[in-house]
Amino acid sequence: MSYLFNTPEDQRAMLESIGVGSIDELFAQLVPDEARLHRELEIPPAMSELELTAQMQSLAAKNTACSSRPCFLGGGAYDHFIPAAVDALASRGEFFTSYTPYQPEVSQGNLTVTFEYQTFITRLTGMDVANASLYDGATAATEAALMCLEATGRRGRVVVAGSVHPEYRQTLQTYLACLGVELVTVGALDGTVSAAEVAAACNDQTACVLVQQPNFFGCLEDVEAIGMAAHEAGAMFVVSVDPISLGILKKPSEYGADIVTAEGQSLGNPLHYGGPYLGIIACKSEFVRRMPGRIAGQTVDRRGKRCWVLTLQTREQHIRREKATSNICTNQGLFALRATIYLSLLGPHGLRETAELCARKSHYARSLLSTGTRFSSAFAAPTFKEFVVRDNAGAVEQLLADAEQEGYFAGIALGRWYPELADCFLVCVTEKRTRAEIEGLASVLTSSPAGLTAELANHHA
């Protein structure tokens, strides 16, 4: 479509109509003077298509994709294998170009995929119902907490484990800031939270307890004991899970979860330099009308043939705003499709094999990094595919930079979120990492200048 710009005459006419003399006068009412740019934008001269293409390729070349080197990064975004069929099917025009299903008359193909996605999520988590997806893992966890506020009628407190992803907790804090709800964080000094401390943090106005399994440090929480503590206080129990881990770990329904959330990026979706991703949420049937977004259901038409419809649409674009459960305005339909194809291809046995490979390879990496005096495991708790390594030199940033120079994305420094763990970094090992890559990582880390500093210090000690 054509770009219709405003001419100087158009601008003058609009300014006269609203009663101001200039653009500066209009903006003065909205933007403080110190926040405004008092110069022209530094826009380069116009380029030809050939020149612009070369410029954009030059800028793109500055990015380093995880596919170009061994990646041991985790913390909520994971480098899992994606079968070629996922890209082939999800790229079909019927799916790739269709927009999110706003209307009940959306194509049966899209509704079928949505229904199948929901079915996979309920089978994966053991819960009764799942919706058509949310934005990402952080907002899914937050929407679950908001569901609990409404379902329990308790609007005084939400208790969250300090081992939950720090960015999830930041998102939760942002949502609760204007609701008058207290957010209480239970510490995780040993890599996990104590059920007794969770119980002590709950009161008669606690709406829910939110934990992550495995947690941000990769450790396994005592979710059964934490769930019991939440329920004894009359609060709901919300668990954020790694979908891949459910190939070998208990389903959340088996340890009393009321609502389950997850980041679905690991289910057939690329890292995409950080997003967009896929938010998963599932719950017990009694909370279905509190669930945000939309739900596709299966029925029969007037001819008795099986068909699919949008059964629930509890969002403000479909019903009165004051009756909406959330202001969420879309779902991640394309990424939910990819997750559906991925789970279809793997099946229960494939998912279990993937989870077992992650666990075995990560434990091998953990053992290699714990053999010398240079590094040690920060926590003793059991882990799944991630673990925290303590650098005895205390030079984590330099250590990871050295590893990157050698061609390895070695891990994530934890000091930015946990000052007490400034000497630690998080390592993730998925099924894609080979024995040679794992051993290469250990060699690179132990031979880096930062690592040698630690070895010399220990030797002199």
CATH 3.40.640.10 fits 84-343, yes or no: yes
Q: Which CATH class is domain 69-77+347-460?
A: alpha beta
Sign for the CA dihedral angle at 358, 360, 366, 369 comes to negative
Q: Please report the pLDDT score of residue 1 as a whole number.
A: 55
Q: Is the pLDDT of residue 454 over 60?
A: no
> What are 158-186's pLDDT values in tens digits?
999 999 999 999 999 999 998 999 999 99
How large is the average pLDDT for residues 222-232? 98
Where exactly are the structural domains of the chain? Answer: 69-77+347-460, 84-343
CB contact burial 84-94 (16+ within 10 A = b; e otherwise): eebeebbeeee
Q: Is the pLDDT of residue 394 over 50?
A: yes
The two three-digit tokens of residue 16, written as one number: 């006269």
CB contact burial 420-456 (16+ within 10 A = b; e otherwise): ebebbbbbbbbbbbeeebbebbbebbbebebbebbbe
Percent of the chain whose predicted confidence (pLDDT) is above 90 = 74
> What are 119-153's pLDDT values in tens digits?
999 999 999 999 999 999 999 999 999 999 999 99
Residues 6+ apart with CB under 8 A from 189: 420
How large is the average pLDDT for residues 343-363? 98
Q: Please report the pLDDT score of residue 105 as a whole number.
A: 58
Which secondary structure element, helix H or strand E, spans residue 424, and what is its range?
strand 424-428
Whole-structure pTM value: 0.88
Residue 142 pairs with which residues in a beta bridge? none
In DSSP notation, 203-221 reads -TTEEEEEEEES-TTSBPP
> Do the domains spanning 69-77+347-460 and 84-343 agree at the CATH topology level?
no
